Amino acid sequence: MIKHTERQMDITVVLSGQAGQGIQTVETLLTRILKAVGLHVYATKEYMSRIRGGRNSTLIRFSDQPVKAFLDRIDILVPLHEGAIAHLGERIGSETLIVGEEKVEVAEFDEKSRFVDIAFTRLASEIGDKVYSNTVAVGALVNVLSVDRDKAIDCLKQYFQDKSPEIIANNIEALKAGYEAAGSWKKSGVLNIKGEGPAESDSQILVNGAQAVGLGAIGGGCDFVSSYPMSPSTGVLTFLAQKGREFGVIVEQAEDEIAAINMAIGAWYAGARAMVTTSGGGFALMTEGLSLAGMVESPLVIHLAQRPGPATGLPTRTEQGDLELALYAGHGEFPRIILAPGSLEDGFYLTHQAFNLADKYQVPVFILTDQYFMDTYYNIDPFELKGLAVEKYIVEAADDYKRFELTGNGISPRAIPGWGKGLVCIDSDEHDEQGHITEDQQVRINMVNKRLKKLEAIQQAAVEPTLWGPEHYKNLVICWGSTYHIVCEAVNRLQRKDTAVVHFKQIYPLPIQAVDYINKADKTIVIENNATAQFARFIKTHAEVQVDHTILRYDGLCFASDSLASAISHFFSG
């Protein structure tokens, strides 16, 4: 049975079905309903690379306290196809409640799970079409979770407000049918939600990682996006396309990634603030353009949403496998900045910051995310817009303007064509201060040193790591990017006063505080979603610090805080 205390409850609902079956409708409706009754909600998904069929699942977690991390545990399972239980079998426990149709094979789980038989398809067909079976499932869950039915119907009306009156009426009937069907089954011990959750969730917003990055780009003054669609980065492109007219963003779906990055470089040259959004295979095509940006010292923002490779790999799964790709991509030596948001708030504020950093230091800036980050959402406070500035560093070109003037910090004044009397000349070949092609060896040395000199200033202004837990610690868990909330919750489960987490949201240049954080600990673990411990190796190379242990996952799925807690505890207790 589902257990909770009066002070805190934490319930997970997992929906499993085939692509095209509509589990996203159930997810969206249910999360909106749960938030409407004042609860904190979290949702993420895993899905196969196909339009129809396959085995996909969505986890919805809700609580009277903020929840922001994935769990293996399943409290309520809604299997919408016959392969669902086999797909999730390892996560089904003795207290899992299964809400599904009789035809779903559950015999082998009878001894360790409970089953509520609700004829989703038959009830939907009686209303007019089996397409309403998803809304029947929502109604059943509303009852099982003891959520007020009228509040659920209000959310449903809002969700389908653009549909015809007939469709809205049929969906209301479907929700009622599912509610009544589940009402015939009630036992003590099932979670009873009173509909009066914490007030702070009422004013909060629900956004996913793609929306957070897209909003951050708008906040950063982005006015041009050029990309070729590639999952899991496409969500940012489509979001900006939807909002482009409202916020003055030109969105160009290029013919390929080579064209996309060169368009972005051209846009910056003309005075715009541009971004490309792509994934590993698409970014591989952009590396020549990346080197061009390095040579002509063009600002550039690259959103790289990682997925498992090599080649096509697992195109709809998650992995932190492209850190070294972002770090070493491009021929030649030139500076760059790599940011890796860990929270949705990071996704917004770091993306905003990326545009100012690119403009100030005239370098490519990466925003490194992954499929898990892109598709995860939970309720957060609205982004704080006060104080957010679009910092532009463009100068007017004088008669004697030198685009690549040698300066003490390596940053030359950047002008754009048409503003001022001077000529803004750039060249992809090595060039002198005026931008004219040269093969003079001393000029070459001066220009290489000038470009690399920027790294000193960038590192001094690097985004500091986030320390979570006690200031005085013996054990340190190190993570980066999207694993932040999962790792923090896993460590919190241990309730150890000697263990802390340090999370890096700027990877390169590595913040100067990194060595101090790591050397302070007696034992260290790096946790990351890849097979070769790329960040642990990066720390060894750039900070000259050897970590003691790594916990890696590279099956295409994210870590789960409950199982990760056991792995961390095993090492620190050993």
* Residues in the chain, overall count: 574
Q: Which of 37-41, 193-197, 483-487 has the highest mean pLDDT?
A: 483-487
pLDDT at 82: 77
Calpha distance 299→505 (Å, rounded) = 20
Do the domains at 10-204 and 466-573 have one common CATH topology? no
pLDDT band, residue 109 (cuts 50/70/90): low
SS3 string, 454-519, reads: HHHHHHHCCCCCEEECCCCCCEEEEEEHHHHHHHHHHHHHHCCCCEEEEEECEEECCCCCHHHHHH
Give backbone dihedrals phi and psi of 234, rounded to 5 degrees, phi first: -60, -30
Q: Tens digits of per-residue pLDDT, 281-307? A: 999 999 999 999 999 999 999 999 999
Q: 466-573: what fold?
A: Rossmann fold (3.40.50)
Mean per-residue pLDDT for 79-84? 82
Q: Which class would CATH give 10-204?
A: alpha beta
Tell me what pLDDT residue 261 has: 98
What average pLDDT score do residues 246-267 get?
98
* pLDDT given at position 293: 98
Q: Please determine, for residue 189, whether its predicted confidence score (pLDDT) is greater than 50.
A: no
- pLDDT-based confidence at residue 80 (cuts at 50, 70, 90): confident
Matching CATH number, 207-379, of 3.40.50.300, 3.40.50.10800, 3.40.50.970, 3.60.15.10: 3.40.50.970
Tokens 């100012």 belong to residue: 356
* Global pTM exceeds 0.75: yes
User: With 80 as the cut, is the pLDDT of residue 104 above it?
Assistant: no
Q: What is the average pLDDT score of the chain?
A: 92
Per-residue model confidence (pLDDT) at position 53 = 66
- Segment 421-447, tens digit of pLDDT: 999 999 999 999 999 999 999 999 999
Q: Read out DSSP for 23-82?
A: HHHHHHHHHHHHHHTT-EEEEEEE--S-SSEEEEEEEEEEESS---S--S--SEEEE-ST
Report domain extents, the chain: 10-204, 207-379, 394-460, 466-573
